[in-house]
Amino acid sequence: MFYVQRDAQGQLVRVEAAAFAEATETLPADHHEIQTWYANEAVEISLKQLKHSDLEMVRVLDDLIQVLTSKGVIRITDLPEAAQAKLLDRSNARETLGGLSRLINDDETGLI
């Protein structure tokens, strides 16, 4: 049994396994609205994980391209012009931040 809260239009806005003050009704676990609620929540969680992973992968790919170019495996000119421009912008930004090594470390944990 799940405790639910609905908005003025009757849409679920909160679903909990435990009772809470704003709960307006209860629904069984196999109710279609409960199933939809948790399916949507699972999708949202997965999308957030992918977005976070995308940000991390940008750094990995940037580092990989730097290694491959420094070893002569590829040349920056082997890449499309748009990619070259983006990599140059990132390289310049990273170089600028490198001058602040006492404030920002390579683990990207933030300031100081």
Q: What is the pTM of this model?
A: 0.47
Distances (CA, A) of 43 to 46, 60, 67, 106: 5, 25, 35, 32
Q: Is residue 12 part of a domain?
A: yes
Residue 34: partners with Cβ closer than 8 Å, 6 or more residues away: 2, 4, 15, 27, 28
pLDDT of residue 111: 47
> How far apart are the C-alpha atoms of 97 and 100, rounded to whole Å?
5
Q: Which residues span the domain enclosing 39? A: 2-52
pLDDT of residue 79: 92
The alpha carbon of residue 45 and the mean position of all alpha carbons in its chain are separated, in whole angstroms, by 9
pLDDT of residue 41: 83
Q: Is residue 40 part of a domain?
A: yes
Q: Is residue 7 part of a domain?
A: yes
- Grouped pLDDT means (10 residues each) for the chain, 112 residues: 93 91 94 89 82 87 90 93 91 76 51 46
Q: Is residue 16 part of a domain?
A: yes
Task: Tally the domains of the chain.
Answer: 1
List, edge to edge, every strand of the sheet that includes 2-6: 12-16, 2-6, 25-27
